[in-house]
Structure 1
Amino acid sequence: MASALESAFTWKLYQNIAKSPGNILLSPHSVCSALMLACLGARGDTAAQIAATLGLPGTDPAAWHRQFSDMCEQLKGTESDSGVLIAIANKLFARLDIKVINNYSSEATKLYSSGTEPMDFASKPDESRIAINQWVEEQTSEKIKDLLQAGTINGATAMVLANAIYFKGKWDKPFDVSETKSMDFYTTATNKVKADMMRKKFDLRYISDDSLGLSAVEIPYQNQTMSMVIIRPNDVDGLSFIEGTLQSDALHDLISRLLREMKMKVDLGLPKFTFTKASDLSRVLPQMGITDLFDPEKVNLSAMTSSGNHAISNVIHKSFIEVNEEGTEAAAATAMISRMMMMPTGEATFICDRPFLFFIVKPETNSVLFVGRFSSP
């Protein structure tokens, strides 16, 4: 199975979200996980559309789920043995009168460690919402709060498919706090603000591509099991052009080239930043090709429940990131809610003093946990 980076899904999803201004953050892996849980219970065109949008290869659904499950297991780690902590959790919250098919429950547990919890959506909608939010907070070390806003759950809610992911990684070579200085950050060619810029000169993988108008650097976390990849435009106002014109295969090739480069001395400047981003994917995913899942007359989740068709009405995604001298902490959660329906050499300077893209990736598999845009402190 192609990783989230190797498929077109990650970049297409990002490009749709990036149409809005400001800082952007999402976890393609979290969104993929929620969709894979839905795909496990989908049949017919509903399953085919999810598979096509995610770029799942071949025509064997069992192989899709085995391979995605294996990829999830490869991502997980603990701070004690790798310097990186990755926790992934899935759960299906179903209304009391919804009959979840036993085979779906057992497969979801086996493949995705996903339990099923009955909820009294009909008479206790807000209590149910709070309980789901508490589960998300627990799974994300309290970084994702209030995923579901008041009114999101009501008496018509049938199911909530939820995924949560938490990442904490220490830099392989931490920044010295004493070297962090206030510097100009250019939000546009004519506007600048101050940012706390971390600074360090050390050996990193680096490439510059004038044809694409950008340069890129890889910053490894401890034991180099995970990395942050940063793509910086050559021009201060160049990021929007890159976002609009760079194709997913070119992005994949660029990062693959970067991860194969020999290391060189790089004078790196990276701003400290912390932000949270919430996104409604309910319109984005149909635009990407997943339409039947949201259509009560066409949805087919017959392998998940025998209580009738329950089209998805909301897909809510929320993510958090903090980057500092020690490393990175990031978290994300996705909830799908259904309603009752019937190379260079020498040295390089790489100062991130303008809007840039960042990816948290597993170099071994090119899997992307998080992708974002930092455009303003």
Structure 2
Amino acid sequence: MQPSHFPTFFCIQVTHNMEKELVRGMFDFAIDIYKQVRRDDGNVFFSPFSISAALSMTLVGTRGNTAKQITSALHVKTEDIHEAFSNLHKRLHSRVNEMAVANRIYSDETMVPLLPTFRASLEKYYSVTVEPVDFCKAAEVVRQQINSWVQQVTKDKIKDLLAPGAVDSSTALVLVNAVYFKSTWKDEFEKEATRPMDFHETSKSKKEVDMMFHRGDYRMGHSAQLKATALQLPYKLDEVSMIVLLPDDIEGLKFIEENLTLQNLSSVLHEMRYEGNMELYLPKFKIEETMQLKKVLMNLGMEDLFSCSADLSGITEKKEVKFSEAVHKAFVDVNEEGTEAAAATAVINVGCCAGVVEHKVFKADHPFMFFIMAGEVVLFVGSLRHP
């Protein structure tokens, strides 16, 4: 097999400048979020695509400093990203048919009447449907209704996105984005080859896991800046792959997390080359994560959105309206056949105030990072410390 450079693999190409900026910004945003939510004692998994989509929908109705804070966090220079997001969504939908993206707003317009322009823009760019509900009289019923819709879109993988009490009689608006992805590996692992092996959680502790095995041709590259090796596992759809970033040292994941930038990650991905007859060991694993994003987003500069300073004048004419919380839940299952992943984000509103790798063995038997990519678009990001 002939060597292949990184750009030729990605068939979902982003051609317009605004779309390129959006995709680059989404990757920077993903790294920013990861550094906020990472922890030394647990796994991480989330969808920057889902969170970005929810925030972009919010951006339709924010103005002034509130909008500037969102665009800054998303690493884009303009608030006018909606057509680019719409085009990107359409391109993904047409090429990645095993991926579903759905957006919906649950609105109690007796409390916060929505502007017709807000409705029209959401429908035009994000295919959003607005569900009229009564939070004031039936908040718990609406919560169950929202959770049921998310569960349906994500094929029963995301359950109970909104916990009891997440919405109440003061809630006026809930904006929800849900993403579901499932694909088999281009070269599946044989179940008969899976066997118990040690996974070294630290240099002093280990646990026995089901370790998958496959011998084949994979694209790999090494990063001296990150002290890690990257390996690409393609799914049956050539546009989609998982990138595994394995530290050179057992406890090297923390070094990656502290030094990870879009530039040094892009560098190793661009330098990946095919290695033939590679022995790949990868643990089977599942991760389910729930994140309260309010603090995370505020730490990234989105302070006005959750305060009485929020300028939501593009959503409603009602004054002193803010968002109270942003909730994100994600699930991933990696096994011999492939990967199933899902994520959902809800934003709740209330009315108030390297070089070629020489070795031929890639053994992911200690903590690592991973990315699920659709072309240049980062759909999911995670790290595995405890299989």
Report the TM-score, using the length of structure 2 for normalisation.
0.91
Contact 2:174/2:349, CA 8 A, preserved across alignment: yes
User: Can you list the C-alpha shifts for 1:291-344, whole angstroms capped at 9, x where unaligned?
Assistant: 111111x11111112233421111111000000111000000001111111432
> Does residue 294 of structure 2 align to residue 282 of structure 1?
yes
User: Can you list the C-alpha shifts for 1:187-233, whole angstroms capped at 9, x where unaligned?
Assistant: 00010101111101111110122342110100000131100000000
Question: Quick check: 337-346 or 222-231, which moved more?
Answer: 337-346
**Whole-angstrom CA distance in 1 between matches of 2:154 and 2:268:** 31
> Does residue 312 of structure 2 align to residue 301 of structure 1?
yes
Following superposition, the deviation at residue 3 of structure 1 comes to 4.5
Contact 2:275/2:360, CA 8 A, preserved across alignment: no
Following superposition, the deviation at residue 8 of structure 1 comes to 1.7
> Does residue 50 of structure 2 align to residue 38 of structure 1?
no
Residue 19 of structure 1 aligns with which residue? 39
CA spacing shift, 1:206–1:299, aligned 2, 3 Å: same
Residue 70 of structure 1 aligns with which residue? 87
> Does residue 201 of structure 2 align to residue 191 of structure 1?
no
Following superposition, the deviation at residue 346 of structure 1 comes to 6.0
> Does residue 380 of structure 2 align to residue 370 of structure 1?
yes
Residue 86 of structure 1, aligned match among 89, 99, 102:
99
Question: Quick check: 180-189 or 248-257, which moved more?
Answer: 248-257
Residue 138 of structure 2 aligns with which residue? 124
**Whole-angstrom CA distance in 2 between matches of 1:160 and 1:17:** 23
**Whole-angstrom CA distance in 2 between matches of 1:327 and 1:128:** 35
- Residue pairs, 1:76-115, within 5 angstroms: 76-77=93-94, 85-97=98-110, 98-115=112-129
Following superposition, the deviation at residue 265 of structure 1 comes to 3.4
**Whole-angstrom CA distance in 2 between matches of 1:345 and 1:255:** 13
Identity percentage of aligned residues = 35
Residue 225 of structure 1 aligns with which residue? 239
Question: Quick check: 338-347 or 186-195, which moved more?
Answer: 338-347
Following superposition, the deviation at residue 362 of structure 1 comes to 1.6
**Whole-angstrom CA distance in 2 between matches of 1:167 and 1:177:** 22
SS in 1 for 2:280: strand
Residue 246 of structure 1, aligned match among 240, 252, 260:
260
Residue 163 of structure 2, aligned match among 146, 149, 166:
149
CA spacing shift, 1:5–1:168, aligned 2, 3 Å: farther
Residue 203 of structure 1 aligns with which residue? 217
Following superposition, the deviation at residue 351 of structure 1 comes to 0.6
SS in 2 for 1:29: helix
Contact 1:4/1:28, CA 8 A, preserved across alignment: no
**Whole-angstrom CA distance in 1 between matches of 2:303 and 2:163:** 24
**Whole-angstrom CA distance in 2 between matches of 1:243 and 1:45:** 31
Question: Quick check: 142-151 or 246-255, which moved more?
Answer: 246-255
Contact 1:45/1:292, CA 8 A, preserved across alignment: yes
Residue 327 of structure 1, aligned match among 314, 331, 338:
338
What is the one-letter code of the residue matched to 1:117?
A: E
Question: Quick check: 136-145 or 303-312, which moved more?
Answer: 303-312
**Whole-angstrom CA distance in 2 between matches of 1:143 and 1:77:** 23
- Residue pairs, 1:150-189, within 5 angstroms: 150-189=164-203
What is the one-letter code of the residue matched to 1:353?
A: D
Contact 2:288/2:330, CA 8 A, preserved across alignment: yes
Residue 351 of structure 1 aligns with which residue? 363
Contact 2:178/2:345, CA 8 A, preserved across alignment: yes
SS in 2 for 1:49: helix
SS in 1 for 2:251: coil
**Whole-angstrom CA distance in 2 between matches of 1:144 and 1:134:** 9
Following superposition, the deviation at residue 255 of structure 1 comes to 2.8
CA spacing shift, 1:267–1:182, aligned 2, 3 Å: same
**Whole-angstrom CA distance in 2 between matches of 1:231 and 1:67:** 29
SS in 2 for 1:215: strand
**Whole-angstrom CA distance in 2 between matches of 1:191 and 1:199:** 23
SS in 2 for 1:190: coil
User: Can you list the C-alpha shifts for 1:330-375, whole angstroms capped at 9, x where unaligned?
Assistant: 0000011111114326652111000000100023xx2111000111
**Whole-angstrom CA distance in 1 between matches of 2:46 and 2:244:** 15
Q: What is the number of equivalent residue pairs in this alignment?
A: 365
Runs of 4+ in 1 over 6 A off after TM superposition: none
Report the TM-score, using the length of structure 1 for normalisation.
0.93
CA RMSD for the aligned pairs?
Answer: 1.6
SS in 2 for 1:361: strand
Following superposition, the deviation at residue 277 of structure 1 comes to 0.6
CA spacing shift, 1:291–1:20, aligned 2, 3 Å: farther
**Whole-angstrom CA distance in 1 between matches of 2:53 and 2:40:** 24
What is the one-letter code of the residue matched to 1:96?
A: E
**Whole-angstrom CA distance in 2 between matches of 1:219 and 1:164:** 25
Contact 1:206/1:264, CA 8 A, preserved across alignment: no
